[in-house]
Chain A
Amino acid sequence: MKRGICWFLLVLTSGIAFADGPLKPEPLNQHTSLPDTWPDHWLLVHDLTWFKFLEGRMLVVDPLAADVAGQFKGSMSSSLNGAYERSLKRNEHYIAETFWSRGNRGGERTDTVTIYDRATLKYLDEIIIPPKRLSGMPKNISTAITPDERFLLIYNFTPSQSVSVVDLESRRFVGEADIGGCGFVIATGQRSFFSLCSNGTVRVVHLDDTGRVQGTQTSPQFFDADEDPLFETAALSPGKAVFPTFQGRIVEIDTRREMPRIMKPWWLTTSQERGWRPGGARPAVADASGLLYVLMQPDGAEGTHKNGGSEVWVVDQKTSKRLSRIVLKNWGIALGATGKGENRLLVVTNGDLGLDIYRIPEGAFVQTLAVAAEAPLLTLPVN
């Protein structure tokens, strides 16, 4: 194994003369690199690796390539359910990670924001943050980044609930905002964020330009967490965060201003269709053109909210009207979207934990990826 390779390299460099053959000796220490700008249709796959949490990873994938060698582009460590954000203007990836000093048997905990170079996937730096971030199933709203890519926000749960604010320009942890009773982070305006509260409201926190808390507000109650809770995953697009509810309502929140505007919830289903409900680890996603996709299961009931769905319903968010229903080739448990314009793709994590790729909005099945991941519950666009 490794020792064999080591000896071989030692021999190679020891100056023993080799006969000149058709193949020339090759330089050591070469590695591949990725282009500076990545094609819009590439995909980031978060592998929770639930049989080996310590070895979580983010995979960089070309979902339209024909085989494993073409699809797999590279990876980054994402230890213990890491959470991903990025800065396109700095060409950096940010992964919030958790480490234990004694690895898989615990010890002292350290949380970091690990910074990787976008193209080379090389480790650049780390920012130590309070060892408090949420440890649980991956959600795309465990972290958020302000629209100017200045501040990174990380939801903490110890079980005290707070949000850590990190200044990405100075690469420093700035402070913590208390959000007791509420969870997760969705950026709104330029310097604000809101969290979902178990009493059916949202808590809004305003930061100043140094990342410190300037003020907080609570919205009026707009949902009932006992009767029909919001899923804690959001379909995010510029200026908008959309949440389905367990029973099938859609709640849209306008995030263009410092104070989010909660629109009136509306039913995705007609009264005859109420058996259909959203479901899965990530039931809703928006594509780059603003269309909304919701994973739907027939015969939904109490307790089925994580089961997934057999169809994806395509919704025009401007009119709140369903445009079409995509019947999935395989049962799905999570949605992702990537690509722009004519090259938009829907990524469905299926019941076998494979990744099914569809062209959208029409819903034409392309392929199931050959790249294997143990628990790819969260897939993200690269740009």
Chain B
Amino acid sequence: MATLRFTQNIQRHVACPTREVEGGTLADVLEGYFRVHEQARGYVLDDQGKLRQHMTAFINGSQMRDRDQLSDPVPPDAVVDLVQALSGG
């Protein structure tokens, strides 16, 4: 199972504890997580199910590539980090 970790910045809005999740792609892993933590979905994905513009994922330290379908493969025992661009004012 992959381990999914979230940026600390999201935690003040919605609790996103680190969890182990089944799934062969990034989309599967996120869906598995949101099934347990539904409220987190809208903070990570927009209303069309797309990854929010200023968020990205790293899979075992490598940045994801497919922002449209989230089809990047997630190896067993991978560590997936959901992070945000640091911008704004």
- Decide whether A and B are members of one complex: no
Q: Which residues of B contact A (CB under 8 A)?
A: none
